[in-house]
Chains A and B, each alone.
Chain A
Amino acid sequence: MSAPLYVARAPNVAARMIGGEMMIMSGRDSSLFSLNPTASAIWQAADGVTPLATLVQAHICSAYEVDPEVALRDAEEVVRSLASHGILRVSDSPIDP
């Protein structure tokens, strides 16, 4: 079993849900992102202190018929991608707000 992963929204972004779609703009370089519903659920729940596996269980597995291991693997891919764009922080320890 891998070490827990923690995720937190980056401080320098603006985000708003519009028409059921989460739109995020990086204040650093004005890049615009829109998230699908599952990525949006993780983004909204990313509080820096709840392990990603718990977030996936609470917000993805409870809403979609999906294998928990597959859901977590997909979620890890998503959060690392968002982190690479600087709009989410990922750490193997809790993240201070």
Chain B
Amino acid sequence: MSLPATHRADIVIGGVRVGVTTSSASFLGLLEERYAGFLAAPAPADYDFDVELATLAEGSADDDVRVYRHEGRWRIERGDFRADLDPVARHGRIRQSENPYSIDSVLRIVHTLALAREGGFLMHSASALVAGKAFLFAGVSGAGKTTISRLAPPHVTLLSDEVSYVRRAQGRYIAYGTPFAGELARSGENVSAPLGAVYLLEKGPENRISRVAPADAARAILANVLFFAEDEALVQAVFAAALDLVERVPVRRLAFAPDARVWDLVEREAGR
């Protein structure tokens, strides 16, 4: 009897390597297409997942996600997938149909869990690299993340139009590119830079940057941090991380008319 062939993709986002093993060559192809630019040659991973392809009849991707601990393992569940992760062995399983969206959600959540412990997080924001610094553009749906990403001039490197990746290292914050795309449907570039500022986006009659009171900045950052786990210690860690960022990184309001000149303003600020 021969064992089924296995295929593996090493997906490295924000310097965190997740190894995904599947018996399906077509699913591997799907991963390679989805995470192009974020794949690496096989090596020991920070987290390993085995994917079992199956059809889950009971729900859909529109259902709410639940992330909770059960008997020492993380359970990550939504209508379209079931996943679990042993946080000690850093090995888990994913049961889903052959699509790129379910595993994309699992990966986002695994990264939020990994980052929370070290003072980082994923944020609902676009991000870009300008003059050697990274800038985040945070806001709810409709605030203009996709618009400002689309307006970026060619010399601006987009890190994401939807989900930004922030790690803390040696007392400073670094933003990384992610493959987690929004309406632009385009992966960010796999590069990183120190975080220069966070802009809270709002559409306005003219392009203008204004100061934000620290407590308002903290509320805005917390409202945009992606975190799903029902875990008191990690919730407290995310709270501390968000407020720490507010104390260390400028947070400004960026009103912008939907025109490309907003980038002139951002670049002027970046040069200061």
Q: Give the tally of cross-chain contacts (CB within 8 A).
A: 42
* Contact residues in A for B246 (Cβ distance below 8 Å): 18
What is the predominant secondary structure among interface residues of chain A facing chain B? strand
User: Within the assembled complex, what's the spacing in Å between the Cα atoms of A34 and B243?
Assistant: 13
Q: How far is the CA of A29 from the CA of B233 in the complex (A)?
A: 12
**Distance of A12 Cα from B231 Cα, bound (Å):** 10
Taking a contact as CB atoms under 8 Å apart, the answer to whether A14 and B235 are in contact is yes
Asked if A78 lies at the interface with its beta carbon under 8 angstroms from chain B, I say no
A29 to B219, CA, bound (A): 16
Do the beta carbons of A14 and B240 come within 8 Å of each other?
Answer: yes
Which residues of B have CB within 8 Å of A12?
232
A16 contacts B232, C-beta separation under 8 Å: no
- Would you list which residues of chain A between 1 and 53 have a CB under 8 Å from chain B? 12-14, 16, 18-21, 23, 25-28, 30, 32, 34
Q: Tell whether B222 is near chain A: CB-to-CB under 8 Å.
A: yes
Which of under 10, 10 to 19, 20 to 34, or 35 or more describes the interface residues of B? 10 to 19
- Determine chain B's interface SS by DSSP, over half rule: helix
Tell me the B13-54 residues at the A interface (CB within 8 Å).
Answer: none
Residues on B with C-beta less than 8 A from A26 are 235
Given A25-B236, A28-B232, A30-B235, CB of A16 within 8 Å of CB of B222: no
Q: Which of B232, B235, B243 contacts A18 (CB 8 A)?
A: B243
Asked if B215 contacts A16 (CB within 8 A), the reply is no
Shortest CB distance B114–A (Å): 19
| CA distance in complex: A28, B222 (Å) | 16
